[in-house]
Structure 1
Amino acid sequence: MKNIIIIFVSLFLGIACQFVGRFPKEIYKTLNKIVLYFCLPALSLYFIPKIVWQNELLYPIGAAWISFALSIIFFASIGSYFRWSKKLTGCLIITGGFSNTSFLGFPIIEALYGKPGLETAILVDQPGGFVAMSTLGILVAIFYSSGSTTATLIAKKILLFPPFITFCIAVLMNVFEYDFLDNIQFGLLKVGSLVTPLALFSIGLQLSFDRKSKHFKFLTLGLVFKLILMPLFLLVLYVFILKQKGLQIEVSIMEMAMAPMITASILASAYGLKPKLCSLMIGVGIPLSFITLFFWCIILNFVK
């Protein structure tokens, strides 16, 4: 419940500061860099070394990877057909492809399924969504942020991107079963905990509702995909095609039905992929997801 309160308070504070005359409106660019270069790497170094691999974890971990792959296919195809700009296509791929599996997902999953559900949610979030965003997400952001790219330029940007560097370090720590001392872990967790308030405050600073804005039709498409089509695809794949049922499957589908991932929106915005649309995907997607999640609970109970 505390996480949900922090989400709305931080978002509304950002919106309120838009109306404070002397408040530096461009500070959101600095906040985005703090989230990407400090908070996100701290979470990677804290969580990834603790992951214990088991084959049965493939379904919850694979949910985020499958969903992002679906987002790439869906929006790249539509964008190509309607001749969208690369930045618009990239924005929708990233914001529509990643779910808010932690800051929104964790409290909701724990309330619905208890501690066993939360353990599965952590798997969906860390080796699933977080790792996918730190690798494929960065690749997509780089590719769609500029008119022309080369393999060398993309590789250079990925390899020099701080979240990717710390991700590689964290993976090596996991392989060699090494973790930081308790005091360092405490510090990493504290720095990582700033992701939600800073990111949502930044989004609030950029959020604007213009009824004549051309963004709303793309916002509608992005949220329909994120909140309805993505979890529906996973439901059909896991339950009806692969014949899988149980707590892990339910939690995986519910996590993919969450609102767009905050840090993914920050990533897309930092690369200039339609920042206003990125903010709308979060600002509208979070409250709207509480309604759609209610219906997904009913559907999952019905197919048990």
Structure 2
Amino acid sequence: MINIIIIFAFLLLGIILQNIKKFPVLSTYKILNKIVITICLPAIVLYYIPKLTWSNDLLYPIGGAWIGFIVAFALFYFLGKKWRWSNKLIGCLILTAGLGNTSFLGYPIISALYGEQGLKMAILFDQPGTVVVLSTLGIFVATYFSKDNLKPIQMLIRVFKFPPFVFFIIACILNVFSIELNDGIQTVLKGFGSIMAPVALTSVGLQLRFESKSKHWRFLGLGLLYKLILTPTLIYILYVLILNQKSEMIKVVLMEAAMASNITVSILAASYGLKPRLASMMIGYGIPLSFITLIFWYFVGQFV
């Protein structure tokens, strides 16, 4: 419950700060974005990835995040080209609708509903799933759609300069060679990772605008429809109806797939100029709405 309170508290803090006269909103959220991208997310990757132990059973929770993102790419790329959307709009929707808030929002909800065993499944969905997708495909998407005429070599340079991706490679090397970081370093990494949500949420709040005549409403509706309804529907059809998988793990995967948009992805989209206003709206409107849709998916899961 405390995590849920923190979500709304720091979103509200950002909204309050943006309405204070002479407060440097633009420079502040840019600084907060940089902290998330260059410090917090790399720390999370380096803390968790080396600890993972591979098993074929991990494919279901891990696959949920990858499937949701890949289908989002295919769907919004197709719609964008058909309806002649800008590249920045396509990129924003792929990122914010393709990845969910599977840790800060997902962990406490899953823990409350399914206990410690369910939380372990949630971590698998989040770390080798959401975090790895964000650090690899996510940065490729952000780089590709940020400019219309970016050359392949320029894209590669950007990817390899992206701190979470660099630390993901380092973390994978540590995992393969079973190298453990000492306790002091792990404590520091965990500490940096723990401040990600408050910092990111404050940044989102600074950028959030509740505009009745916003030009983004149509695209917000499409993004939320995919993230909150179509993604878990896709997982249900594939895992339950086609693969005939029925277990506690599948219930957790279904709930994680139904989480609202990922906060860090919103920061990534804003950092690359991919419709920052729409990205923040996906968080600001998506999180409260998800509490309603998650109730529906929880009851669907009872029949799994």
Once the two structures are superposed, residues 60-90 of structure 1 have per-residue CA deviations (whole angstroms, 9 ceiling, x without a partner) of: 0111001100100111111111000000010
| Corresponding position: 1:18 with 2:23 | no
Show the counterpart of 2:85: 84
Aligned amino acid, residue 9 of structure 2: V
Aligned amino acid, residue 90 of structure 2: T
Q: Hey, what's the Cα distance between the residues in 1 that align with 2:218 and 2:136? A: 29
How many angstroms does 1:97 deviate by?
A: 0.1
Q: Hey, what's the Cα distance between the residues in 2 that align with 1:224 and 1:90? A: 17
Aligned partner of residue 102 in structure 2, secondary structure: coil
Show the counterpart of 1:213: 214
Q: Hey, what's the Cα distance between the residues in 1 that align with 2:239 and 2:211? A: 39
Show the counterpart of 2:184: 183
How many angstroms does 1:282 deviate by?
A: 0.2
Q: Hey, what's the Cα distance between the residues in 2 that align with 1:25 and 1:116? A: 42
Aligned partner of residue 128 in structure 2, secondary structure: helix
Aligned partner of residue 299 in structure 1, secondary structure: helix
Aligned amino acid, residue 139 of structure 2: I
Q: Hey, what's the Cα distance between the residues in 2 that align with 1:85 and 1:77? A: 12
Show the counterpart of 1:224: 225
Show the counterpart of 1:132: 133
Q: Hey, what's the Cα distance between the residues in 2 that align with 1:281 and 1:168? A: 29
Once the two structures are superposed, residues 190-212 of structure 1 have per-residue CA deviations (whole angstroms, 9 ceiling, x without a partner) of: 11111100000000000001111
Aligned amino acid, residue 57 of structure 1: L
How many angstroms does 1:22 deviate by?
A: 2.9
Show the counterpart of 2:172: 171
How many residues are paired up? 303
Aligned amino acid, residue 24 of structure 1: P
- TM-score, L = length of structure 1: 0.98
Q: Hey, what's the Cα distance between the residues in 2 that align with 1:124 and 1:88? A: 27
Q: Structure 2: give runs of 5+ residues left out of the alignment.
A: none
How many angstroms does 1:247 deviate by?
A: 1.2
Show the counterpart of 1:5: 5
Question: RMSD in angstroms over aligned alpha carbons?
Answer: 0.7
How many angstroms does 1:43 deviate by?
A: 0.5
Show the counterpart of 1:196: 197
Aligned amino acid, residue 194 of structure 1: I
Q: Hey, what's the Cα distance between the residues in 2 that align with 1:85 and 1:124? A: 31
Aligned amino acid, residue 235 of structure 2: L
Q: Hey, what's the Cα distance between the residues in 2 that align with 1:99 and 1:291? A: 16
Show the counterpart of 2:162: 161
How many angstroms does 1:19 deviate by?
A: 1.5
Aligned amino acid, residue 220 of structure 2: L
How many angstroms does 1:110 deviate by?
A: 0.4
Show the counterpart of 1:256: 257
How many angstroms does 1:164 deviate by?
A: 0.6
Aligned amino acid, residue 171 of structure 2: A
Aligned amino acid, residue 213 of structure 1: S
How many angstroms does 1:6 deviate by?
A: 1.1
Show the counterpart of 1:43: 44
Q: Hey, what's the Cα distance between the residues in 2 that align with 1:77 and 1:253? A: 25
How many angstroms does 1:92 deviate by?
A: 0.3
How many angstroms does 1:125 deviate by?
A: 0.2
Once the two structures are superposed, residues 1-57 of structure 1 have per-residue CA deviations (whole angstroms, 9 ceiling, x without a partner) of: 121111111100000111211321111011101100010000011000100111111
Show the counterpart of 2:76: 75
- Aligned pairs for 1:217-296 within 5 A: 217-296=218-297
Aligned amino acid, residue 6 of structure 2: I
Once the two structures are superposed, residues 235-280 of structure 1 have per-residue CA deviations (whole angstroms, 9 ceiling, x without a partner) of: 0000001111101111111101000000011111100000000000
